[in-house]
Amino acid sequence: MLTLSSDFGAPYPAAMKGVLLSNTDARLVDVSHDFPRQDVRTAAFWLRELLPYFPPAVHLVVVDPGVGTDRAAIVVRAGEHALVGPDNGVLVPVARQLADGDDIEVFEIDDGDAASSTFHGRDVFAPAAAAVHEADSEHIEDLDRCTPIEAIEELRFPDPDYREDETAGEVLVVDGFGNVITNVPGEVLDGSFGDSIAINDERVPVERSYAHAEPEERLVTVGSHENVELAVNRGRGERAFGVGVGDPVVLTDV
Amino acid sequence: MLTLSSDFGAPYPAAMKGVLLSNTDARLVDVSHDFPRQDVRTAAFWLRELLPYFPPAVHLVVVDPGVGTDRAAIVVRAGEHALVGPDNGVLVPVARQLADGDDIEVFEIDDGDAASSTFHGRDVFAPAAAAVHEADSEHIEDLDRCTPIEAIEELRFPDPDYREDETAGEVLVVDGFGNVITNVPGEVLDGSFGDSIAINDERVPVERSYAHAEPEERLVTVGSHENVELAVNRGRGERAFGVGVGDPVVLTDV
Amino acid sequence: MLTLSSDFGAPYPAAMKGVLLSNTDARLVDVSHDFPRQDVRTAAFWLRELLPYFPPAVHLVVVDPGVGTDRAAIVVRAGEHALVGPDNGVLVPVARQLADGDDIEVFEIDDGDAASSTFHGRDVFAPAAAAVHEADSEHIEDLDRCTPIEAIEELRFPDPDYREDETAGEVLVVDGFGNVITNVPGEVLDGSFGDSIAINDERVPVERSYAHAEPEERLVTVGSHENVELAVNRGRGERAFGVGVGDPVVLTDV
């Protein structure tokens, strides 16, 4: 199995699919091609949340604002999975999640004389992903163009700051429904569904799910990623709470 | 075969795909993940129009504004098809269409202790759909977590009102091209292509298809769903006619 | 293998998939359903850029503003590929590319009494594509409803005008990133990366790829289609250069 993720929107993913299908009979599964454009951090978050639900696979990931520069093209072996993409941090959080405490291994792809400088998804990463799939992720080291390397560009999400009466976190991403996903673990809410908590000094009910609040009303819940989420029942949380990615979210008991 | 439909946009469908692929080798086919968010009625319309074109399959449908409340999770057997989704009416019109006059059968899914309260698509419906696919829709009653139930939340589209000189219908949905799909059966136009009819008191030509009108001009036609449709050749019908979902559409002979 | 391309957005492609899957076990691959609506020319450009990366396949293409008029439905045999769609020019540039200098062959599809006049993608082209796939593209002439024809509606992209000191081209399409793709071959830049050139009388650096310019800065590069492309590093080229499809782009040495 071979999954595809990118920030390409349409129609560039089709060129990658054509190249893959010319080089492997693997089952192809689109994860998403609608990651926010050139936003490595948000893509890294979603990949960490999504790819662990897949069976062992080769995951082709192209969110690559540095295409054509000297950033490396890499393959990462993580558990029974392999990830193929640019060395800009996008693969790191999901690789550590898939490795589940084990080490990850990193290989640099020699991109030879890639036909283009502007579309490595098609000319470098897709051929490499097909080759890794055909070789099986156990045999990445046998591939001509893959050389083990030590370093990888890091990317870490910030931890919240736990203070005496409050937890100071921040917004990691806003999803398509307008739900605001923070870096604060859901355990901080301590299962206090039905009670209230202060979010940035405003009192908000803590609910088990969206529809437990009245329509259009704000709520705090534990999202499917197990983090604290700010939302509005049948509405958009990011507007009602007035926050965006990177903004502080301070939770205080009331 | 297993189809997927939701109002998730991107990237949440990928989590459902990961769960499905971890539990079945079924062929997966995306119907759409771009149904208008939390709009059960519009999704119900499209599913009724689209799924009957598929060969027998298990159809996973998640348009679920009540996720995490006590609305049931259900499986519906309809002809040779099975539908899996929330008991909020979204499955009803398509189920009756697929059953083609026969009874439909409804089973409640015991969601046990679902990992999340906010993403039953991933944690309840996808595992259930995979299980139904593996069991074959003939054997839903043999599944541990599926119990036959009698009732289902109803959802019916309104019938038009046939009066002496006119037919009073309403807008069911507006499609992505801006075509306005009404609840008035195409037979009301009686094949009078080339003639005119009054729509909400304004005279409009009746045409066999869009390009029979001049560019930018309004027309009335019979859409692919066999209902009366208000459209503009190379333009947007909902703007030119000034109508939206639920608005009255009165057809009068002229 | 059978690929699908359209300007349908969501959810109409699902009806075509249902029909295809009812008539063939072929592998289905979405190329894109997000081509700009009713824009035959832009779809023709992208298909020419994308489909040559695929292994031999039947390609179903529905960008069809003239649906329901007397424009023909056609099958085009081009090399080992077959293309199925409306005779409005959309298939021509890609067919010539796939034929690679050989002749293309054109067949008209008798659409019989298609169920609808407004959705030939579902009622004419999808059944025809399935039939062509089942027959194999070598045997299109054996299909009941396919008759060889001579003519095809032409569609050609304009060539640039090469003058003494300058090349006068135009914008062919703007991609989803805002990159402006012109009809000027990349060779005109003569590999002068790091130098500058005048675009419509304004001096712009020529770069190997986007990130060689400073963030938010304009650049000229050779795109993955091997044409001259106007872009902005981490920004939108069409806005910074103030050009859209069909606008003149004059390159002058500085």
Return the pLDDT at C148.
94
Decide which of A88, A120, A149 is a domain's last residue.
A149
Q: What is the pLDDT of residues A83-103, one digit of tens each?
A: 999 999 999 999 999 999 999
Interatomic CA distance for residues B113 and B117, integer angstroms: 9
Query: Does residue B65 form part of some domain?
Result: yes
Residue type, A8: F
Name the nearest CA neighbour of C187 among C101, C251, C98: C251
Residues B93 and B56 in one domain: yes
Q: Give the residue on C whose Cα is nearest the Cα of A119.
A: C224
Nearest to B14 among A1, A32, A229 (CB): A32
Tell me the ipTM for this assembly.
0.96
Please give, rounded to a whole number of angstroms, the shortest distance from the CA of B41 to a CA of chain C: 15
Interatomic CA distance for residues C20 and C14, integer angstroms: 10
Does the pLDDT of residue A239 top 90, yes or no?
A: yes
Residues B8 and B111 in one domain: yes
Q: Which residues of B touch A50 (CB under 8 A)?
A: 11, 14-15, 18
Q: What is the pLDDT of residues B163-214, one digit of tens each?
A: 999 999 999 999 999 999 999 999 999 888 999 999 999 999 999 999 999 9
Residue type, B223: G
Residues C106 and C203 in one domain: no
Residues B91 and B167 in one domain: no
Does the pLDDT of residue C137 top 90, yes or no?
A: no
Report residue A112's pLDDT band, with 50, 70 and 90 as the boundaries: confident
**Count of domains forming chain A:** 2
Query: Does residue C155 form part of some domain?
Result: no
Decide which of C90, C118, C149 is a domain's last residue.
C149
Residues C15 and C131 in one domain: yes
Report residue C112's pLDDT band, with 50, 70 and 90 as the boundaries: confident
Name the nearest CA neighbour of B222 among C124, C38, C115: C115
Chain A CB within 8 Å of residue C224 CB: yes
Return the pLDDT at A136.
86
Return the pLDDT at B187.
95
Chain B CB within 8 Å of residue A7 CB: no
Residues C110 and C233 in one domain: no
Cβ neighbourhood burial of C86 (10 Å; 0-12, 13-18, 19+): buried
Query: Does residue B57 form part of some domain?
Result: yes
Q: What is the CATH number for C54?
A: 3.40.50.10790
Tell me the percentage of chain A whose pLDDT exceeds 70: 99
Return the pLDDT at A69.
87
Query: Does residue C9 form part of some domain?
Result: yes
Residues C24 and C126 in one domain: yes
Return the pLDDT at B112.
77
Nearest to C118 among B49, B54, B224 (CB): B224
Does the pLDDT of residue A138 top 80, yes or no?
A: yes
Q: How many CB pairs under 8 A join A and C?
A: 86
Residues 6+ apart with CB under 8 A from A30: A3, A4, A5, A13, B14
Report residue C199's pLDDT band, with 50, 70 and 90 as the boundaries: very high
Question: Residue range B1-13: average pLDDT?
Answer: 97
Beta strand pairing status for B2-6 and B28-32?
parallel
Interatomic CA distance for residues C52 and C81, integer angstroms: 9
Return the pLDDT at C239.
98
Return the pLDDT at B102.
96
Does the pLDDT of residue A210 top 80, yes or no?
A: yes
Question: Residue range B79-83: average pLDDT?
Answer: 97
Query: Does residue A104 form part of some domain?
Result: yes
Contact (CB<8Å) C212/A22: no
Does the pLDDT of residue B134 top 90, yes or no?
A: yes
Instruction: Measure Cα distances from A163 to A71, A200, A246 in Å.
Output: 39, 14, 19
Domain that residue C13 falls in: 2-149
Does the pLDDT of residue B248 top 80, yes or no?
A: yes
Residues C199 and C141 in one domain: no
Q: Which residues of C touch B221 (CB under 8 A)?
A: 117-118
pTM: 0.96
Question: Residue range C231-236: average pLDDT?
Answer: 96
Residues C34 and C116 in one domain: yes
Return the pLDDT at C146.
92
Nearest to B11 among A31, A222, A229 (CB): A31
Question: Residue range C211-234: average pLDDT?
Answer: 96
Question: Residue range C230-238: average pLDDT?
Answer: 97
Please give, rounded to a whole number of angstroms, the shortest distance from the CA of A164 to a CA of chain B: 28
Question: Residue range B45-51: average pLDDT?
Answer: 98
Interatomic CA distance for residues C51 and C34, integer angstroms: 15
Residues A171 and A130 in one domain: no
Residue B96 has a CB neighbour count (10 Å cut-off) of: 17
Q: Give the residue on A whose Cα is nearest the Cα of C4.
A: A14
Return the pLDDT at B70.
87
Query: Does residue B37 form part of some domain?
Result: yes
Residues A51 and A128 in one domain: yes
Return the pLDDT at A95.
98
Return the pLDDT at C116.
79
Decide which of A149, A181, A208 is a domain's last residue.
A149
Q: What is the CATH number for A220?
A: 2.40.30.90
Neighbours of chain C (3+ CB pairs under 8 A): A, B
Q: What is the pLDDT of residues A17-72, one digit of tens each?
A: 999 999 999 999 999 999 999 999 999 999 999 999 999 999 999 999 999 888 99
Residues C7 and C53 in one domain: yes
Query: Does residue C241 form part of some domain?
Result: yes
Q: What is the pLDDT of residues B236-245, one digit of tens each?
A: 999 999 999 9
Does the pLDDT of residue B84 top 90, yes or no?
A: yes
Question: Residue range A125-138: average pLDDT?
Answer: 94
Contact (CB<8Å) C176/A8: yes
Return the pLDDT at C25.
97
Please give, rounded to a whole number of angstroms, the shortest distance from the CA of A41 to a CA of chain C: 15
Return the pLDDT at B191.
83
Nearest to A50 among B15, B28, B66 (CB): B15
Question: Residue range B55-78: average pLDDT?
Answer: 95
Tokens standing for residue C105: 């062959």
Contact (CB<8Å) B210/C67: yes
Report residue C132's pLDDT band, with 50, 70 and 90 as the boundaries: very high
Query: Does residue A102 form part of some domain?
Result: yes
